[in-house]
Amino acid sequence: MDQAVPGWPRLCAKARASVRFLQARVKTLENKVLVTGGAGFIGSHLVEELVRRGRTVRILDNFSTGSRDNLSAVADSSAVDIRVGDAADPEAVRSALAGCDTIFHLAASVGVGTVTDDPLGSLENNIDSVRTLFGLLRSGSPVSRVVYFSSSEVYGKSSTERLEETSPFIIGPADAPRWSYAAAKITGEYLALGSSRQHGVPTTVVRCFNTAGPRQVDTYGMVIPRFFRQALAGEPLTVYGDGSQTRCFSFVGDVVASVLDLAQHPGAVGEVFNVGSDEAVSVLELAHQIRSMTGSRSEISFVPFETAYGPGFEESPHRRPSLSKLRSFTNRNDQTPLEEILSSIHGWLTQRADAGGDATADVAAEAGGTADSACADDSARTADSASTADSDLTDSRTGAPVERAARLGLRTSAGSSPAV
């Protein structure tokens, strides 16, 4: 009789997940939060905000792409436990999970350059880490929430004007390495959602759209830091194709705030959310904005995709999310304008230069090989840092004045619960 009710198995799974959520929630404040890939760009900002909210955070990172510099502000903090280990290693993950009730899984191989250079290794790493985590969670102690960071790359070549969470995945053939990252993230979503529905592991999937902000480097295909590096060094700004492709860049502080809201929402269990901005800009216009902001006289150089990535490389011309579902769950309708995102990055670079470093060298330090595509999505970077104290005049995460940093979303809204 139960099977005659449409959707009954899924309703039962959600009910079981809700019970486990409430059971684990009782111990939320006394247990740790695990952030895999906690030494990367998004992860470091996430760790910072968690620490600011009074949580104890454990970071699992193998530092293959993460940076210890991102963790310098919290390396000695009693609120942060840094574990060096691989997210695909069952023993490392098992140990890291002990005492943790909330897990944010960001660890992954990312960037078009990384994927095209080692498609098989990237594919295996991105799938194995998800299988390892959820395999352990299915047989372990209850947790209150797992947030799996997927990517807008899963939508592939879709020409839909606004991508909804139910939009189809349209990726290229298996002999095009560029699509292996999307394939791995899609597989990760099936593993995460299957564990939620069939085994009661309370999971939320987030698909990030081109997150940007301070501490991002251009090593793995992130176009904004690449343009800043080139503009500040007086080098030509390399635009792939004709620059007409558009993307929506979201501020990392906004992304973190939205993800933490979803992690606290019981109704978000078993659901998928687009997370980002819906303000679209062409890559060519982005280059002009950064050149103007820095006062650079750099030329703009147009480079064919085939020259950068080889024959047969495919690029999605447009990728813009529908944020209706996210906004209905989080009540966040504002987003940081692109100009303010760029200003925060420029301020961070300026602060680093004023502190005695070479801003262009800092951004380029990890940028081996050729520059990467603007289509690269950095939702799963593996390095992160946390800081609990602002200076008297500037915010340690952006280099911007404190009052401006707050306005850019680095502080949660007054209505946000600090429990996560």
Rg, C-alpha atoms of the chain: 20
Q: Which of 148, 181, 220, 309 is catalytic?
A: 181
Work out the end-to-end distance of the chain between its first and last CA atoms, rounded to an integer number of angstroms: 39
Q: How many CB atoms lie within 10 A of CB 81?
A: 17
Chain centre to alpha carbon of residue 329: 19
Instruction: Tell me how far apart the alpha carbons of residues 157 and 168 are, in angstroms, rounded to a whole number.
Output: 10
3-state SS assignment for residue 217: coil
Torsion of CA 87, 89, 94, 95, to 10 degrees: -80
- Residue-wise burial string across 11-32, b where 16 or more C-beta atoms lie within 10 A, e elsewhere: eebbebbbebbeebbeebeebb
**Which residue, chain included where needed, has tokens 């939009």?**
167
Please confirm, yes or no, whether 190 is among the known catalytic residues: no
Which candidate, 293, 273, 209, 275, places its Cα nearest to that of 246? 209
**Residues acting as catalytic residues:** 181
